[in-house]
Structure 1
Amino acid sequence: MAEQTTHTLPLREKVPSSDKWHIEDIFADDNAFLAALSACRTHINALSEFKNHLGDSAETLCHYLTEKEKVLVELDSLYCYAGHRSDEDTSNPHYQDLRGQVDFTGNHFYEVTAFEDPELLSLPENFIPDALSTCPDLVPFTHYLENTLRMKAHTLSREEEALLSLTMDLDSTPQSIFYMFNNADIQFESVTDKDGHEVGISHGRFVPLLESPDRDLRRKVFQSYYHSFNQYKNTVAAIFAANLKKELFYTKARHYTSSMEAHLSQNNIPTAVYEQLIEAVHDALPEMYRYVRLRRKMLGVKELHMYDVYTPLVSGEHANISFDEAMAIVSRGLAPLGESYIRLLNEGMHGGWIDRYENKGKRTGAYSGGDYAHHPFVLMNYQGTLDNVFTLAHEMGHSLHSWYANHTHHYVDASYSIFVAEIASTCNEALLMNDLLGRCSDPHEKLWLLNHYLDMFKGTLFRQTMFAEFEKITHEKTAAGETLNAQSLCRIYGDLNALYFGPDMTNDPEISLEWARIPHFYMPFYVYQYATGFSAAIALSHRILTEGQPSVEDYINFLKAGGSDYPINVLKKAGVDMTTKFPVASALSVFSSVLDEAEKVIAELGL
């Protein structure tokens, strides 16, 4: 294992193989990839022969679904290889081209199989139940078929579906326009730091700059960033409003009562889950206000501003943790999950799943990805900090969730929904946090850990719920016939920000424009799942730590479940009922106890 010791980024070909993920486990080389791509295209075209024949017999339906699943597994591997190779060096045009070829092939697959849903839903009412009872090979497709039938009330006639399909390019237009504006056109004026050096601002640098200990620099960066959005606020408001109207069109076309219902119904999530999340967080806002007061006290400022939200309350003295040490820390912290989980965890961390360090052109950040037919892969840009150790635990949580699901189910039932996607990763972080806090004897280090934990709650449970409430309000106003513009959107957002941060936060006028920079708002009713997933993860980690082996077995079964049932049901079986307020309220009680502990340590240190 080679540790990086300089700030000079190596070229990809210079990175030791021991530090790279083993993408060759999917395809040995590009030639093997291209051969598989050609074969996949042939298999896709063969699926067209099933058009107008799905109702011929149970065996024909089973044959189609089996062949389609094989194609999806092939596509999965192709996407994984091309995408991961491209991420190794984003400047490499060769892999950009391969990625484009897979995208083209994937689009062709969806064009060829577009007949499926309308044809299935036009079959006689008893055909699918009878087919499931008479054809044993169809059993793995039970949940998939029942879920398809569940959407019958919102599926139109073949002619209407064909007409609606012509709007698919228009469907993504507001998002595409915003992404182009946000990533290509908007520019931010540089600012100067206390030493007179020019500091450039970008989306990627915005939050790291707001973490700076230099408060004047934070203020300048904050004001410059939002000044740029202010210049274009009317344009962005028009894009935002267009997306709301587009969503309302599809809501009405598919006979839903609201855009929220339309999106939540995709995973059979009751809208009460969304409503109760907001209610539970509102109930706990006094604790958020206590956190804000603590932040103001720790930073020693008379007025706390929105540009003070990201800077750490205490400096982290945790750099230079080797990757070997990081793996050992994570393995130890997740020990409550049992020997078999830890054995698989170590196999992944040591066995070529992880691309460890930054190299020239490598995609930034971290993620877990992979395909159904092979082990997962994790991209990291490890820098030796304790924050990076938490990232390792987080991404391995995703990876083991996928591994368990893929090794338990057919492809059709393996993929889990976004509603549960962040649970395994966050549960790992919570377990690691518990272990580190239990072992910590240095009050300064303990305060750093508690601050990190509090920021997880602030950023995920409170902030994402605020985003969710903003979405709810704006979609409802659009449905009621209100025209939203920059002024009204800023007013709605500014009022929510004041509500969520409370009286001890100075509600800087710039923050009312934050709605204009959030890409997730163009994927409506998505962000609430970060908050619900976080709450479920805290509840599960608490069960694991307090109840032991029975709860561990429930949790492993949750990981194995994948997408074999609706996410609400999968979580209920694991002991977490998201149709009630309890999991969110329980997580918020943990937030309160962490606040108590932080205040206790601060008092002990005399800060």
Structure 2
Amino acid sequence: MNKSKTLPKRSEVPAEHKWRLEDIYPTDAAWEEDLQKAKKLAEEIATKKGTLGQSSKHLHEALTLQDELLQTLDQVYVYARMRRDEDNANSKYQGLTDRATALSTQAYGAISYIQPEILAIPTDTLKQWIQQDEGLAHYRIMLDEITRFKPHTLSAEEEALLANMSEVASAPSKIFGMLNNADLKFPMITDENGEEVELTKGRYTHFMESKDRRVRKEAFEALYSTYGKFRNTIAASLTSSVKADVFYARTRKYPSALYSALFADNVDISVYDNLIATIREHLPLMHRYISLRKKALGVDELHMYDLYVPIVPEVDMKIPYDQAVQTIKEALHPLGEDYGKVLEEGFTGGWIDVHENEGKTSGAYSWGAYTTHPFVLMNYQDNVNNMFTLAHEMGHALHSYYSNKNQPYTYADYKIFVAEVASTVNEALLMNHLLETTNDKHQRMYLINYYLEQFRGTVFRQTMFAEFEKIVHAKEEAGEPLTADSLNEIYRELNVAYHGPEMVIDKEIELEWERIPHFYRHFYVYKYATGFSAATSLSKQILEEGQPAVERYLQFLKGGSSDFPLNLLKNAGVDMTSPEPIREALAVFKALIEELEQLMGQ
């Protein structure tokens, strides 16, 4: 790769480090053909409107046509967007993406009648059709899922009214987004070098990891003093969002907003409650980690601005891409020969776009179309974090690969509830491999601290967020007022409980709820904690049981959305209706704390 300070142009990146989008379309002309095909399919499916309830044949034809349209549309959009992601300055692929986006809007408008017409068919009639029509039987799971929502679906006129209200209901999130991302300006602070720099949200993360405690404290106070000036405005936006959640739940006849949010994944409220109760039960472990952090930093008082600074001296672990690939392959060896073959194909078969180049989309993701292998975008840097990111994205990629290979298009796309499981299993196995193979004490300490921070941020912190959401929605449903003061009080009490007696709960932290965008996507964050716990339990089973656990796990990867997420996980060996997987994950957390205490001589 180009070692100069300037980024290489796309044309300068070696072919072996680029993904091979020709596997989707060999030429842009072939893409154009499919675009025109999708247009015709959208026009054709629109002509079926009003006919679905006439016979099983009409319904089957419409659903088959819908699959063909959406599959073609996915491929068209994925190719255009990933071509643009290679170099966002490329006007040709900007244009292709815009055309694919416009067609998507047109296509989804053309099929919008399908679900309401299915819901209008009497349930007994639909069951009879599924039994009699072999082709329609293929759609039984999908049709069952649609009819599951029937008790919470209103009349066509009422549904239209609610649809027209969606823009108004999303206003609190939009208002918060504009304030948070565009209008909020933070003051200047003095950095480690004594220079005046403007605080930004991006720089805040960097400052929170600074070895200079003065810098951490100054950035912390500057950030929250700014948010504090808008506490009443942001409280109004958040409480309005909560009111909208409650309104929609009541209008659709759900028992609560929480029940409504979990209904889509067919997840019982007990799963949510189990998570909070089990984490609460194990908060002494979090407090023990906080105590270890305090001792390691050698401070008389541990403040909230001391939570992100590394407690282990930095270790120079330079890991070039080729070394990361080899290490990941070795780490994932326990997943068996078949998984290993697919993983090798991913690393060598044009799946991955490895390095940063001029104009390339930042970050990392896994994506693709049903008819081709998955693709992974990276902007690889030679460090531990990027190696874990690569393992993570390949977990997503192989989940998609197995689902696509073993499920029809209708059921290939897995649900968000399980989306982070495969990626986190890969990370857990990689961490286990690194800890097993390193002999360097400081590297081992660094890795353990890295893993502990994942637990703290993904399991404990996200569960605290989930509990905050539950409390504020319950208060709204009970008719209790939500104000800036009451939100501050709720959030402060949670921080006291979660961080324990050795943490100074600075007054500023009671304002943190103001800056969490996920609170505008109600009851979503708990999935991070459940997914991490499930993955930790699965990786432990794979390492301890071997082949039987691997077989169960591979069946999970192949499942797509052919069953509800909880059932897929249960068949893999993890029952998320039970607190056991969370307890198993926290047992790993405890063992890591104990080892780090020993290594640090605490």
TM-score, length-normalised on structure 2? 0.96
Q: Quick one: distance in 2 between partners of 1:448 and 1:38? A: 54
Q: Give the match for residue 338 of structure 1.
A: 336
Structure 1: distance between partners of 2:15 and 2:272:
46
- How far residue 149 of structure 1 moved from its aligned partner, in angstroms, is 1.0
CA distance in 2 between partners of 1:230 and 1:10 (Å) = 43
The one-letter amino acid paired with 2:130 is: L
Is it true that 1:202 corresponds to 2:200 in the alignment? yes
| Shift in CA distance, 187/10, structure 1 to aligned 2, threshold 3 Å | farther
1:102 alignment counterpart? 100
Shift in Å at residue 483 of structure 1? Answer: 2.7
* Structure 1 SS opposite 2:65: helix
1:310 maps onto 2:298 in alignment: no
Partners of 1:139 and 1:448 in 2: CA distance: 54
Residue of 252, 257, 260 corresponding to 2:258: 260
Structure 2 residue corresponding to 1:23, chosen from 1, 21, 24: 21
Question: d(CA) in 2 for partners of 1:116 and 1:331?
Answer: 45
Deviation at 1:233, TM superposition (A): 2.0
SS at match of 2:72: helix
Per-residue Cα deviation, 1:107-134 (whole angstroms, up to 9, x for no partner): 2223222222221111122222222222
Separation in 1, partners of 2:217, 2:36: 54
Aligned to 2:593: 595
SS of the equivalent of 1:50 reads: coil
* Pairwise CA distance, 1:319: 3.9
Question: C-alpha distance in 2, partners of 1:311/1:196?
Answer: 19
CA contact (8 A) 1:140 1:410 kept: no
Query: 2:544 is matched by which residue type in structure 1?
Result: T
Equivalent residues of 1:230, 1:513 under 8 A apart: yes
* Alpha-carbon distance between aligned partners in 1 of 2:5 and 2:502, rounded to the nearest angstrom: 40
The number of residue pairs the alignment matches comes to: 602
Tell me the alpha carbon deviations over residues 126-183 of structure 1, each in whole angstroms, 9 at most, x when there is no partner. Answer: 2222222222222332211111111110011122212222122223222222222222
Check the 8 A contact 1:118/1:157 in 2, yes or no. Answer: no
Q: Which residue of 1 is the match for residue 571 of structure 2?
A: 573
Match of 2:128 among 124, 127, 130: 130
Worse-superposed segment, 348-357 or 534-543: 348-357
Shift of 1:25: 2.3
Partner residue of 2:84 out of 83, 86, 106: 86
User: Shift in Å at residue 93 of structure 1?
Assistant: 5.3
- Distance (whole Å) between structure 1 residues aligned to residue 197 and residue 191 of structure 2: 7
Residue 588 of structure 1: CA displacement? Answer: 1.0
Partner residue, 2:469: 471
Residue of structure 2 equivalent to 1:186: 184
* Equivalent residue in structure 1 for 2:510, among 492, 509, 512: 512
Relative distance call for 1:88 and 1:455 in structure 2 (3 A) is: same
CA deviations 1:336-373 (Å, max 9, x no partner) are 00011011111112222112122233332222122212
Shift in Å, 1:454: 0.6
Shift of 1:471: 0.7
Distance (Å, rounded) in 1 between the aligned partners of 2:27 and 2:316: 39
Amino acid at match of 2:111: T
1:452 counterpart (447, 450, 453): 450
Q: Choose from 6, 17, 37 the match for 1:8.
A: 6
Q: Secondary structure at the match of 1:325?
A: helix
Shift of 1:395: 0.8
One-letter code of the match for 1:572? K
Q: Distance in 1 between matches of 2:235 and 2:298?
A: 37
Residue 228 of structure 1 aligns to a residue whose secondary structure is helix
AA partner of residue 152 (structure 1) = K
- 2:485 partner letter: Q
Partner amino acid, structure 2, of 1:551: A
Instruction: Describe how 1:30-429 pairs up with structure 2 within 5 A.
Output: 30-92=28-90, 94-429=92-427
Q: Which of 545, 549, 553 is the aligned partner of 2:547?
A: 549
Deviation per CA, 1:38-92, whole angstroms, max 9, x where unpaired? 3312211211122121122222211111110111112212332233233333455
Q: Distance between the aligned counterparts of 1:215 and 1:369, measured in 2?
A: 41
Q: 5+ residue gaps in structure 2?
A: none
What residue ranges of structure 1 are gaps of 5+ in the alignment? none
**Is the contact between residue 315 and residue 442 of structure 2 (CA under 8 Å) also seen in structure 1?**
no
Distance between the aligned counterparts of 2:98 and 2:220, measured in 1? Answer: 37
- Indicate the SS of the match to 1:199: strand
Structure 1 stretch displaced more, 387-396 or 371-380:
371-380
User: Are 2:421 and 2:534, in contact at CA under 8 Å, matched by a contact in 1?
Assistant: yes
Amino acid corresponding to residue 342 of structure 1 in structure 2: G
The amino acid that maps onto 1:16 is: P
Find the residue that maps to 2:77 and give its secondary structure: helix
State the alpha-carbon separation in 1 of the partners of residues 278 and 259 from structure 2: 20
Q: Which moved more, 1:11-20 or 1:308-317?
A: 11-20
Q: Distance in 1 between matches of 2:294 and 2:98?
A: 49
Q: Given residue 275 of structure 2, which amino acid in structure 1 is its aligned partner? A: L
The percentage of aligned residue pairs carrying the same residue is 47
Structure-2 change in CA distance of 1:209 and 1:13 (3 Å) = farther
Contact 1:354 1:379 in 2 (8 A): yes
- Kept in 1: contact 2:53–2:120 (CA 8 A): no
User: For 2:425 and 2:9, how far apart are their aligned partners in 1?
Assistant: 35
In structure 2, distance between residues paired with 1:94 and 1:477: 52
Deviation at 1:543, TM superposition (A): 0.6
Separation in structure 2 between the aligned mates of residue 387 and residue 581 of structure 1, nearest angstrom = 30
Cα separation, 1, equivalents of 2:148 and 2:69: 25
One-letter amino acid of the structure 1 residue matched with residue 20 of structure 2: H
Number of the residue aligned with 1:537? 535
Q: Residue 249 of structure 1: CA displacement?
A: 1.4
One-letter amino acid of the structure 1 residue matched with residue 549 of structure 2: S
Note the C-alpha offset of 1:94: 4.9
In structure 2, how many angstroms separate the alpha carbons of the residues matched to 1:135 and 1:600?
A: 66
Distance 1:379 1:426 in 2: 18
Cα separation, 1, equivalents of 2:221 and 2:88: 31
Other structure's SS at 2:47 match: helix
Q: What is the match of residue 479 of structure 2?
A: 481
Aligned Cα RMSD in Å?
Answer: 1.7
Deviation at 1:99, TM superposition (A): 3.2
Question: Separation in 1 of the partners of 2:25 and 2:137?
Answer: 31
> Which range moved further: 131-140 or 433-442?
131-140
1:586 aligned partner: 584
Moved more, 147-156 or 178-187: 178-187
TM-fit CA distance, 1:97: 4.5
Q: Residue 582 of structure 1: CA displacement? A: 0.9
After superposition, give the CA deviation of every residue in 1:280-308 in whole Å (9 maximum; x if it has no partner).
00000000000000011111111111121
Whether the 8 Å CA contact 1:22–1:353 is kept in 2: the answer is yes
